[in-house]
Amino acid sequence: WAYAAASSGTDAGPGEQAATVAPCPERQLRASGLNASEAQPLFSLANGERVGLVSNTATKCLVRSLGSRFAGETCATAAEIAEGHATSVGDECASTGKNLMEITGLAPEGVLSVRLISSDGTSRSTSVLSGAFRFDGTNPVAGGPYPTGVEWLGSDAGRVGTAGLPVNGDQFCEPTS
């Protein structure tokens, strides 16, 4: 089983949009007049999913695929991206024994790097590629630090903004062993 959460620009709080299966594959893409097959490849995740970007003048979408199978989407307008509504957290909940966790998202215009902030105050950074970012890792251990949000950094490494993640600390899968 896999767990995924995404914030898609509604007024719901963190974790309130969590789902184990998307209700209608490619619904956000179709609503924006976009097609998953037109996504330009960006990067691959540790779980083997490929992530691409497709956009128009109003909306950007990250599209995940595994082989030829559609695996998910995160779509948002520029305003929604700036508000932090374009970040997804996916973890494997020990289905493979690897407890992999990936955090992907879209960054506001002008952001060059993203810092992932953890509950213990530590952080790690990654570069923004074509407006997108990713963090690969493993699920937090019970009682240990967990990711809480992202901080967007501009060209001078100064903070452009911050956003919480669409899950809370107690909503991450915990390794079973």
Identify the pLDDT of residue 48: 87
DSSP strand E in 46-130: where?
50-55, 60-66, 69-76, 87-91, 100-106, 113-118, 123-127
Q: What is the DSSP letter of 174?
A: -
pLDDT over 70, % of the chain: 81
For the stretch 93-114, pLDDT in tens is: 655 667 888 999 999 999 999 9
Strand ordering across the sheet containing 159-164? 123-127, 113-118, 147-153, 159-164
Identify the pLDDT of residue 148: 93
Higher-pLDDT residue of 176, 82: 82
For the stretch 5-27, pLDDT in tens is: 554 444 444 433 333 334 567 88
Identify the pLDDT of residue 54: 96
Closest CA to 103 of 71, 77, 137: 137
